[in-house]
Amino acid sequence: MMTRPAPGSAASANRRTQLWLGVVCMILIANLQYAWTLFVSPMHQAHGWSLRDIQFAFAIFIATETWLTPLAGWAVDNLGPRRGPPAAIALGAVLVGAGWVINAFATSVGTIYWGAALSGAGAGAIYATCVGNAVKWFPDRRGLAVGLTAAGFGAGAALTVVPIRLVIEGAGYASAFFWFGVGQGAVLLLIAPALRAPLPEERIAAPAPRIAQAGRSATPQQVIRAPAFWVLYAMFVVVSASGLMVTAQIAPIARAYGFNNNAALFGASVLSLALVVDNVMNGLARPFFGAVSDRIGREPTMAIAFTLGAVSYWLLAIVGTSPAAFVLCAGLIFFTWGEIFSLFPSTCTDLFGPRYATANASLLYTAKGTSAWLVPLANVLAARAGWNGVFLLCAAGNVAVVLAALFVLRPMRRRAAVAVV
């Protein structure tokens, strides 16, 4: 039987090091998603490509980032703890760097699609590896560990959205794509050899759980036949779609509300301030709600977070036309959306065990890719009903997920845990 390392032991220190290396890796790929909105208008103005065509690249990025992660997760789990994580991070580093360099030299929107596909595949390999490492190293604090890891992806862009915006304004969007792509890829390559999963003798025994957990691990083939997985998947799609819509469209929404680059709040443009606040709140949500879920359970935490999310979307529709309210409401939306990337992987591992955690969490993560195809529909709905109609629909979706968490997923998960154990 494996035992918990004593506090301060080499194994305990190493798992903290592995956790923070994973966080840094996630920070380095955050721009690929959360800074995308800054490039949309400059590309539209430089080439005349339609906003719909440009935003299709965002959907491609999300699709490849998520739908290819099961392959990456399977490879990491099967290559073993020493070889799997370094190989996946190194491959991801090359792909994310190449993707943004391609974007820098693109003269057609089709080339942007290739760049989005490559950078998405690389980001997915890195994301799957880091989240998988977190759930394996920290069975005793799974929600918090995954939350901290995912926070790197959610909040990491807060460090660079302003520098990227300044480079775009001063040297053009192509320079921003090139230099940030090369820099981020290079640092990831340097980190890759240091990452690994726990060896058998380093695994620790989780304490008696406060929430239902599986007594043995399920393979990916078994997972896709489990009804609880598909309930979790559908919930993920609904909440993810609403958050991704705001992520991709925050700059166009700000302009539609009359907040151009000259509209100042606290000495900064409304959009710049909103982007920083949104990324910080997005990142804080992941460890915060992850830690809460470790104490009170996954589904009650989902109910709290998504109820607040519904209120946030409703408030943005009602009072979001003032600069301060826009920044506040958008920040609350990101705070109540970002936690899906800690709650859902943790719930998945609770249900199906740690042995194939990287592959199984990667299967669930494809829900984000599925939701990405709903993002362009926001423009269609906004053209007919305005952005307020979009926000109210998102609020309704969050309410539906609250009901599903409490009255569908929770009973199914309890029955599944009893059956597996």
SS3 content of the chain, % helix, strand, coil (to 5): 80, 0, 20
Tokens linked to 341: 């990337």
CATH superfamily to which 10-420 belongs: MFS general substrate transporter like domains (1.20.1250.20)
Give the bridge partners for 268, in sequence order: 265
Q: Which residues fall within 8 angstroms of residue 300, CB to CB, at 6 or more apart?
A: 293, 406
Number of H helices, E strands in the chain: 18, 2
Give me the long-range contacts of 5-13 (CB less than 8 A, separation at least 24): 5/202, 5/204, 11/198, 11/202, 11/204
Neighbours of 150 (CB within 10 A): 31
Task: State the average pLDDT for the chain.
Answer: 87
Find where tokens 């304004």 sit.
169
pLDDT digits (tens, 9 = 90+) for 272-290: 888 888 888 988 888 999 8
Question: Each residue of 261-284: b (16+ CB within 10 Å) or e?
Answer: eebebeeebbbbbbbbbbbbbbbb
Integer angstrom CA distances of residue 237 from 42, 302, 309, 353, 365 = 30, 14, 15, 22, 9
pTM, whole model, 2 decimals? 0.78
Q: Tell me the backbone φ, ψ of residue 138, rounded to 5 degrees.
A: -130, 65
On whether the CB atoms of residues 228 and 416 are closer than 8 A, the answer is yes
Of 58, 66, 67, 129, nearest to 93 by C-alpha is 129
pLDDT digits (tens, 9 = 90+) for 214-232: 556 788 899 999 999 999 9
- Is the model's pLDDT at 193 over the cut of 60? yes
Q: Give the separation between CA 250 and CA 304, rounded to whole angstroms.
A: 24
The reported pLDDT for the residue numbered 150 is: 86
pLDDT: which is higher, 230 or 321: 230
**What average pLDDT does the segment 366-394 reach?**
87
The reported pLDDT for the residue numbered 116 is: 96
Q: Give the separation between CA 413 and CA 293, rounded to whole angstroms.
A: 15
- Is the model's pLDDT at 6 over the cut of 50? no
Q: Give the separation between CA 118 and CA 113, rounded to whole angstroms.
A: 9
Neighbours of 313 (CB within 10 A): 29
- Is the model's pLDDT at 211 over the cut of 80? no
Question: Domain coordinates of the chain in residue numbers?
Answer: 10-420
Of 166, 128, 163, nearest to 149 by C-alpha is 128
pLDDT band at 335 (very low <50, low <70, confident <90, very high): very high
The reported pLDDT for the residue numbered 7 is: 45
